[in-house]
Amino acid sequence: MTTLFLTDELHAGHQMDGHPERPRRVQRIVESLMETGVIGDLEVPATAEATLDDLKLVHAPAYVDEICAFDPGEATYMIGNDTYLNSSSLRAARLAAGAARQATDAVLDGSVDNAFCAVRPPGHHAEVAAPMGFCFFNSVAIAAAAALSRPDVERVAILDIDVHHCNGTVDIFKDRPEVLVCSSFQDNFYPGRYLDYENDHVLNTPLAAGSTGADFRQGIEARWWQRIDAFNADLILLSAGFDAHLEDDISALRLGDEDYAWFIRELRAFAATATDGRLVSVLEGGYSEDVLGRVVPDHAAVLAGAA
């Protein structure tokens, strides 16, 4: 297996003082991949920024033009619900979206088998015309839309295991039946949008506060694999949030390391037959450095076929 790993030191320039979505998240992931030796099993090229046209694949042109023209100078501005922008934020966000797109192209071209992007800021709360929830641009959605612009891709499945519902991804694709969106999330929780919205290609798996890894596995097994299989996707994109972990203070779900290990092993095995292995995992949330340092190396090692 060849697994592409994309990250960039410039993600660290995006800083919001005292905020849990902080540079150390990605830095800890890179450190842990090096400490465990997993990085030796990965292909690590440079990342390209998303172009304005890439961003406009899913975001309103006026939103993209307005936010990209904004110059915060030396200050930090709140530009959306719990979303702050400094002079490095947009570059970091465009690198995150660019990584998701670059990884997807590489997988579809067959130059690598699958990919993992350790990027920030996250993207799955960003709606068509609004930043929110630490997110500016919806990286996974941009990758999906770019994939669908290719003649060899007709359907894309987006799976989201972040503890927060992917309102942005649903907002973008709710009227595009060529994209299946499956989201597991803590119910009655942030973002409070689209939590009850379902249609024939948007599938919700809400988990009550206090739910365990067993509840998570049961929810996935009851609905996801069969639905994704029937959808006949050409590509699977994973919004990989690690904030449903018991040790992550941001939520009240109680997943353990073993549940994340179970999920990525199941997903990789499923993708091997469903999409000929074509799978791209993109970091969303996850705010405990200890959890990221343990769970993400295993995640990447499974993708690389080394675990």
Which residues are at the interface with Zn ion (CB under 5 A)? 162, 164, 241, 243, 285
Residue type, 20: P
Nearer to Zn ion, 4 or 132 (CB): 132
Q: What is the DSSP letter of 130?
A: B
Q: Where are the beta strands (DSSP E) in 260-304?
A: 279-283
**Rounded to whole angstroms, how far apart are CA atoms 205 and 142?**
23
Q: How far is the CB of 37 from Zn ion (least distance, A)?
A: 28
Q: What residues form DSSP beta bridges with 281?
A: 116, 238
Q: How far is the CB of 82 from Zn ion (least distance, A)?
A: 11
CB 118 within 8 Å of CB 39: no
Catalytic (active site) residue 125? yes
Catalytic position from the list 125, 164, 245, 299? 125
CB 163 within 8 Å of CB 241: yes
Q: How far is the CB of 12 from Zn ion (least distance, A)?
A: 20
Element (H, E) at 32: helix 24-35
**Rounded to whole angstroms, how far apart are CA atoms 95 and 156?**
22
Q: Got the DSSP string for 75-98?
A: S-EEEEBTEEE-TTHHHHHHHHHH
Q: How far is the CB of 14 from Zn ion (least distance, A)?
A: 16
Cis peptide before 297 (omega within 30 of 0): no
Q: How far is the CB of 164 from Zn ion (least distance, A)?
A: 4
Q: Is 247 exposed, middle or buried (0-12, 13-18, 19+ CB in 10 A)?
A: middle
Nearer to Zn ion, 113 or 162 (CB): 162
Q: How far is the CB of 79 from Zn ion (least distance, A)?
A: 19
Q: Which of 257, 254, 229, 258 minimizes the C-alpha distance to 244?
A: 254
Nearer to Zn ion, 215 or 243 (CB): 243
Nearer to Zn ion, 63 or 287 (CB): 287
Residue 158 token pair: 């987006």
Nearer to Zn ion, 148 or 163 (CB): 163
Nearer to Zn ion, 36 or 239 (CB): 239
Pairing assessment for the beta strands 179-186 and 156-160 based on DSSP bridges: parallel
Q: Nearest residue to Zn ion, using CB? A: 285
Residue 174 token pair: 């709710």
Catalytic sites, residue numbers: 125
